[in-house]
Amino acid sequence: MLAEIIAIGSEMLTPHRQDTNSLYLTAGLNALGVSVAFKTIVGDNRQHLTSAIGIALSRADIVVLSGGLGPTEDDLTRECVAEALGLGLHRDADVMHALQQRFAARRMAMPPNNIRQTEVLDGAIVLQNRNGSAPGQWLDTVYGGPSGKVHRKLVILLPGPPKELKPLFDEEAAPRLRQVLPAYFMASRMLRMALIPESQVDARCAPIYQPYTDVETTILAGSGEIQLHFRCTRPTQEEAEQRVDELAELIEREMGDDIFSSHGESLEEIVLLMLGMRGMKLSVAESCTGGLLASRLTAIPNASRVFDGGVVPYANDQKVMLCHVPEDLLEEHGAVSAPVARAMAEGIRAISGSSIGVSITGLAGPAGGEGPDADKPIGLVFIGLSDGEDTQVKQVQIPGDRDRVRLWATQHALELLRRTLE
Amino acid sequence: MLAEIIAIGSEMLTPHRQDTNSLYLTAGLNALGVSVAFKTIVGDNRQHLTSAIGIALSRADIVVLSGGLGPTEDDLTRECVAEALGLGLHRDADVMHALQQRFAARRMAMPPNNIRQTEVLDGAIVLQNRNGSAPGQWLDTVYGGPSGKVHRKLVILLPGPPKELKPLFDEEAAPRLRQVLPAYFMASRMLRMALIPESQVDARCAPIYQPYTDVETTILAGSGEIQLHFRCTRPTQEEAEQRVDELAELIEREMGDDIFSSHGESLEEIVLLMLGMRGMKLSVAESCTGGLLASRLTAIPNASRVFDGGVVPYANDQKVMLCHVPEDLLEEHGAVSAPVARAMAEGIRAISGSSIGVSITGLAGPAGGEGPDADKPIGLVFIGLSDGEDTQVKQVQIPGDRDRVRLWATQHALELLRRTLE
């Protein structure tokens, strides 16, 4: 079964906005055994949209449309689907009632425009939208191509806002698809690694995953991380799970502790989990990353259980004031140096009273360093880690622009922490 | 003139990857007076791609294809364009020479597969790619639809990697388009506002921009910010600039200092600029935002000229240790309170010796507060700002989830800082 996703809205044909719903819809369709063969993005234009729907009906079994279900003249999806399929539209009394209640609950009169939202394709099932005024629609119908042959088509109309589309797809569209489609059992797993080249992962893993011809393996690289995705379809869920687990275990044996997560957790989640299990508390001192590491850690709910906090001694004199780096170290070695990274890690640990102090100091660019740091290359970063007994310092040279150096520096810090805790 | 962009690659039909090149291409096409009417995303499938190209040729004047120009069997763009247009392919000696040199420079033998990359559409101009092995192609041709009528079509083949596509479009494709297309002069402006409801901006601005029927106005809302985009086309560049400047000035008069940027700068850039102009230095103390404000500021190159640094006193006891908040304030009022926000701002200013100290303390959720903060609502945030003479505290209630509360809290802090500096 092939699907096409049509995202409707002129704003997605500007340089400012793009369709993101299709990623979510694709994951949901894949889990039901449906592949997405085409995505089309079209504006709020009657002729363009009607013809795009006709094309989708001629090449896909399932057509999922997102957007264009609002109350304005620009919201054309209902009419264009009707025209492409040669179906009528009727005003649905239940939808009208629900809409009126929705406005009444907000003590507002329903504007006349909203009557457009009560229009339902003949033969369609209304998909109740708890999060907005636009209901979705489900249509199990037939479509005759130019050849005269008639094929069954499933057409699903969903509202554009992600907060409305996602629950409507999961709760209303997906269960109906599952009933209609052949039974399908898919299992998937993801293994995550940090700071290791994609080519190295592939060279070591390809001999292992290639014989698993029934497991689809995808390697994704980005943001200092490699993800290995496995997906398998079998006659039962148990068999599918067993195949991906078996392959994942072989890969885990090969890659060992390069793998930081085998069930999808992010690197910062893993580090927080490990600290929590050991009853340890963390504080950080960040110079060139300027709060990015703390921000990544505190983006995780309940980070406060293990993350004490930290300092961002961005200017050189702040390294003295905020984490008690001896001035002579700065003068002698420069801020971007192993001794200063060491002093920062030890300093923040002592000030915070945490179990572990982690520090980052480096040159993110584009401007170079000053004084004793003047001749050091951009991308040079030192990571310090002090646990009270011992302080280690790691030196790395990160290629790329400011954003990349900053992000990778936090990856290096998290990865050093993870390996130390392991 | 209407364009269609076709993004080619099966990975963009998975839940993990999406086309982003089309945003860049759309901006470039718009600047030449070309609207994008359709975007299609299609996999590495000969039949699907050939038919998608045929459809694009039948409905657009300009077809821009990205991806599928690599050396593998999966790279089908050249062949499929040839098939859709009924054109031949030939091996280009110059491309072959350039490819061989490219490999020689890397002391590698050219793999036989790469010969595929020397195949050029009959009649096409090769677009040299300095950043990769896949050259682009430019084809000015004709296409006959089913009606038998023949139309001129511009077909542009570009490699998928953004680092190759962008320079190739800008340096090779855009100048050729400009020669072929009617002279087009477009001016654009953007005004940015923070923390103001979109509906309010529109209610106040619509009466002003609506009479400017020749200026296209777009309102975009997101991440605690409203952007007003103006775009105008006129027979000369000067006239176009004059129209958008005239409208922008009227809107600036209406919205006053709600507008933080009239030439595209971000809120953090504006705040850093204002501090720099006043010769002032900034330090921050962040609790619930956990380093996000510092991270946003330090993402801007040369932030170090005005940003001293700060502390992230995430745990309650760290508010005492890292920015000297008196313990009794925490016990009496809780960490999420005006007195603590005040003490944090004053504390970090005193410790850092900065001109201005800014603090953020609040409940980001999903868990609620503890002790004296137990009954406070999630989303409650206090922002403190101390300039040595005076300390102000602003209380806000931010709706939404953890990510939203954190982001909006930093917007409130930056906006308070901007208005104080103004």
Mean pLDDT of B331-359: 98
- Which one, of A49, A68, A132, A53, lies nearest residue A98 by Cα? A132
> Do B51 and A59 lie within an 8 Å CB cutoff?
yes
Mean pLDDT of A4-32: 95
> Do B23 and A43 lie within an 8 Å CB cutoff?
no
> Which residue would you say has higher pLDDT here, A145 or A115?
A115
| B51-109 tens-digit pLDDT | 999 999 999 999 999 999 998 888 999 999 999 999 999 999 999 999 999 889 888 88
What is the pLDDT, as a whole number, of residue B109?
A: 86
What type of residue sits at position B269? E
Q: How confident is the model at residue A395 (pLDDT cuts 50, 70, 90)?
A: very high
**Dihedral sign, Cα of residue B335, residue B337, residue B342, residue B345:** positive
Residue B249 CB partners (closer than 8 Å, separation 6+): none
What is the pLDDT, as a whole number, of residue B402?
A: 96
Tokens of B105: 């420079």
Q: Are B298 and B419 in contact (CB under 8 A)?
A: no
CA distances, A21 to each of A11, A137, A164, B225 (Å) = 14, 17, 11, 22
Q: Which of B36, B312, B406 is facing A291, going by the closest CB pair?
A: B312
The answer to whether residue B206 neighbours chain A at the CB level (below 8 Å) is no
Q: The tokens 């496995």 sit on which residue?
A: A230
Mean pLDDT of A258-271: 94
The answer to whether residue A85 neighbours chain B at the CB level (below 8 Å) is no
B128 CA to chain A: closest CA distance, Å? Answer: 24
Residue B298 CB partners (closer than 8 Å, separation 6+): A288, A289, A290, A291, A292, A312, A314, A406, B304, B307
Q: How confident is the model at residue B38 (pLDDT cuts 50, 70, 90)?
A: very high
What is the pLDDT, as a whole number, of residue A110?
A: 86
What is the pLDDT, as a whole number, of residue A274?
A: 97
Interface confidence (ipTM) of the complex: 0.88
What type of residue sits at position B175? P
What is the pLDDT, as a whole number, of residue B84?
A: 97
- Per-residue DSSP letter, A213: T
Classify B112 as helix, strand or coil.
helix
The answer to whether residue A286 neighbours chain B at the CB level (below 8 Å) is yes
> Do A402 and B299 lie within an 8 Å CB cutoff?
yes
Q: The tokens 């905020």 sit on which residue?
A: A322
Mean pLDDT of B145-151: 78
> Do A298 and B289 lie within an 8 Å CB cutoff?
yes
Q: Are B101 and B115 in contact (CB under 8 A)?
A: no
Chain B stretch 6-35, residues whose beta carbon is closer than 8 A to a beta carbon of chain A: 11-20, 22-24, 26-27, 30, 35
Mean pLDDT of B99-120: 89
Q: Which of A48, A299, A309 is facing B312, going by the closest CB pair?
A: A309
Residue A145 has pLDDT above 80, yes or no: no
Chain A stretch 132-151, residues whose beta carbon is closer than 8 A to a beta carbon of chain B: none
The answer to whether residue B313 neighbours chain A at the CB level (below 8 Å) is yes
Residue A136 CB partners (closer than 8 Å, separation 6+): A69, A126, A127, A129, A156, A157, A158, A159, A168, A172, A173
Mean pLDDT of B294-309: 97
Mean pLDDT of B352-376: 96
Q: What is the rounded average pLDDT for all residues in chain B? A: 95
Query: In A, which residues are within 8 Å of B283 by CB distance?
Result: 318
Q: Are A53 and A78 in contact (CB under 8 A)?
A: no
Percent of chain A with pLDDT over 70: 100
- CA–CA dist A265, A267 (Å, integer): 7
- Which one, of B395, B293, B407, lies nearest residue B337 by Cα? B395
Q: How confident is the model at residue B336 (pLDDT cuts 50, 70, 90)?
A: very high
Rg of chain B, C-alpha, whole Å: 28
Query: In A, which residues are within 8 Å of B17 by CB distance?
Result: 220
> Do B309 and A302 lie within an 8 Å CB cutoff?
no
What is the pLDDT, as a whole number, of residue A222?
A: 84
Residue B112 has pLDDT above 90, yes or no: no
Residue B183 has pLDDT above 90, yes or no: no
What is the pLDDT, as a whole number, of residue A65?
A: 98
Residue A144 has pLDDT above 90, yes or no: no
- Count chain A–chain B contacts defined by CB atoms under 8 A: 225
The answer to whether residue B293 neighbours chain A at the CB level (below 8 Å) is yes
Residue A390 CB partners (closer than 8 Å, separation 6+): none
- Which one, of A302, A296, A395, A311, lies nearest residue A346 by Cα? A311
| A336-360 tens-digit pLDDT | 999 999 999 999 999 999 999 999 9
Q: Are A412 and A284 in contact (CB under 8 A)?
A: no
Query: What is the β-pairing status of strands A259-261 and A150-158?
Result: unpaired
Report all structural domains of chain B as residue ranges with CATH numbers, in order of start: 2-180 (3.40.980.10), 185-261 (3.30.70.2860), 267-421 (3.90.950.20)
- CA–CA dist A75, A95 (Å, integer): 17
What type of residue sits at position A86? G
Q: How confident is the model at residue A109 (pLDDT cuts 50, 70, 90)?
A: confident
Query: In A, which residues are within 8 Å of B23 by CB distance?
Result: 15-16, 18
Q: Which of A18, A40, A310 is facing B312, going by the closest CB pair?
A: A310
Scanning A290-381, the segments in alpha helix (DSSP H) are: 292-298, 316-323, 327-333, 338-352
What is the pLDDT, as a whole number, of residue A183?
A: 87
- Which one, of B36, B146, B38, B49, lies nearest residue A59 by Cα? B49
What is the pLDDT, as a whole number, of residue B264?
A: 84
- CA–CA dist B323, A406 (Å, integer): 25
Q: Which residue, among A223, A312, A320, A405, would best test binding to B if mutated, counting the most B CBs under 10 Å from its CB?
A: A312
Query: What is the β-pairing status of strands A225-234 and A259-261?
Result: unpaired
The answer to whether residue A313 neighbours chain B at the CB level (below 8 Å) is yes
Residue B265 has pLDDT above 90, yes or no: yes
The answer to whether residue B228 neighbours chain A at the CB level (below 8 Å) is no
**Dihedral sign, Cα of residue B67, residue B68, residue B71, residue B74:** positive
The answer to whether residue A383 neighbours chain B at the CB level (below 8 Å) is no
Residue A149 CB partners (closer than 8 Å, separation 6+): none
Terminal-residue alpha carbon distance, chain A: 45
The answer to whether residue B55 neighbours chain A at the CB level (below 8 Å) is yes
Q: Other CB atoms closer than 10 Å to residue A17's CB: what's the count?
A: 15
Chain A residue nearest residue B310, CA to CA: A312
The answer to whether residue A283 neighbours chain B at the CB level (below 8 Å) is yes
- CA–CA dist B93, B99 (Å, integer): 10
| B15-36 tens-digit pLDDT | 989 999 999 999 999 999 899 9
What is the pLDDT, as a whole number, of residue A264?
A: 84
Chain B residue nearest residue A299, CA to CA: B403
Mean pLDDT of B305-309: 97
Query: In B, which residues are within 8 Å of A14 by CB distance?
Result: 26, 30, 218
Chain B residue nearest residue A15, CA to CA: B23
- Which one, of A387, A377, A388, A380, lies nearest residue A408 by Cα? A380
What is the pLDDT, as a whole number, of residue B255?
A: 96
Residue B361 has pLDDT above 90, yes or no: yes
Query: In A, which residues are within 8 Å of B228 by CB distance?
Result: none
> Directed axis angle between helix A316-323 and helix A338-352, to 10°?
30
Tokens of B264: 């595209």
> Directed axis angle between helix A402-421 and helix A267-277, to 10°?
30
B167 CA to chain A: closest CA distance, Å? Answer: 17
Q: Are A359 and A412 in contact (CB under 8 A)?
A: no
Compute, in degrees rounded to 10, the torsion defined by CA atoms A79, A84, A87, A90: -10
Q: What is the rounded average pLDDT for all residues in chain A? A: 95
> Which residue would you say has higher pLDDT here, A73 or A256?
A256
Percent of chain A with pLDDT over 90: 85
